[in-house]
Amino acid sequence: MKPLLLAALLLFGAPLAAQESSIFPKLSPHGCVSQTIGTTTVSVDFHRPGVRGRKIWGDLVPYGQVWRTGANEATTIRFSDAVKVNGSPVPAGTYALFTIPGPEQWVVILNKRWRQLGAYEYQAKDDVLRFQAKPRTLSSFTEWLSYEIEPASRSSAYVDFLWEKLRVSFLVEVDVDSLVATQMKRAIAKAGPGDWKLYADAALYYLEQNTQLEQALSWAEKSIRIQENPTNLFVKGRLQRELGHLGPALTTLEKALKVAKSQNALGSVTGPIQQSLDEWRRVQGLNGH
């Protein structure tokens, strides 16, 4: 092995023969973080070098050169569904996460050749995406290179890289509603004659997103036709109220509570129904109905 390559491997804690043995811990231990956005999983797999008193930026990690953004094997990022990264579409899959650090700007790279040692075999022709990210200097110190995935909304999250006193972030976005609608359509197409819960869950999802409430009500009613129970009656009642039909909603909730009590349902079932019923009755009384 060439002396310079050997020195680089040792410097970043890459897996030499002795380090690969399970009895010897690596200088840069393995780490993995994962976050669900909607129903999509985003995960980063990496190795964590320590600062160990060294000068990192512009020295241990040179400026202007492609870096594995970790140690040992190339850091990877995986998306279980198609996403947008920094506003650009990226297909589902696993990618090597490379960067080109700079004092004022970093270049973040997603490369389709994700199985490789460091960046020694990196080729730009395999890039799927490149974009710029501005590094931020922090007051806090991070000894061990780290990644975090922090939710930003119900359909997005920030992937954050932290090491020494630097943080670099980029946004991952998921079209949650489109994915759910596609999966829901497939599930309903395959639904069995007794699958009341699927229709109740679909109705509840639309209710919670406050969208297509008439469609949701039809699903709740279909669920009830398959098997009437406190769950789908409660969903139906809530939908009726959202659609402005308080009287019928109260009737539906009264029925849901009656069915629940006849089945000796737990308090976790009867409690929310009773609470909603009491609140809605007060509203009805205040409105003089």
Question: Which pLDDT tens digit goes with each residue over 18-35?
Answer: 344 568 788 899 999 999
Instruction: Please determine, for residue 288, whether its predicted confidence score (pLDDT) is greater than 90.
Output: no
Q: What residue segments make up the domains of the chain, in order of their start?
A: 3-173, 176-286
Cα 147 from Cα 198, distance rounded (Å): 36
Instruction: Tell me which CATH code domain 176-286 carries.
Output: 1.25.40.10
Res. 287 pLDDT band, cuts 50 70 90 = low
pLDDT digits (tens, 9 = 90+) for 138-188: 999 999 999 999 999 999 999 999 999 999 999 999 999 999 999 999 999
Query: Which pLDDT value is given to residue 224?
Result: 97
Cα 216 from Cα 205, distance rounded (Å): 8
Instruction: Please determine, for residue 104, whether its predicted confidence score (pLDDT) is greater than 60.
Output: yes
Q: Could you tell me the CA-to-CA distances from 201 to 188, 197, 244, 264, 269 in Å, in that order?
A: 11, 6, 21, 23, 16
Global pTM reads: 0.79
Instruction: Please determine, for residue 124, whether its predicted confidence score (pLDDT) is greater than 60.
Output: yes
> Which structure tokens are listed for 284?
């009805």
Provide the 10 A C-beta neighbour count for residue 187.
14
- DSSP states of 203-226: HHHHHHHT--HHHHHHHHHHHHHH
**β-strand partners of 149:** 159
Query: Which pLDDT value is given to residue 27?
Result: 86
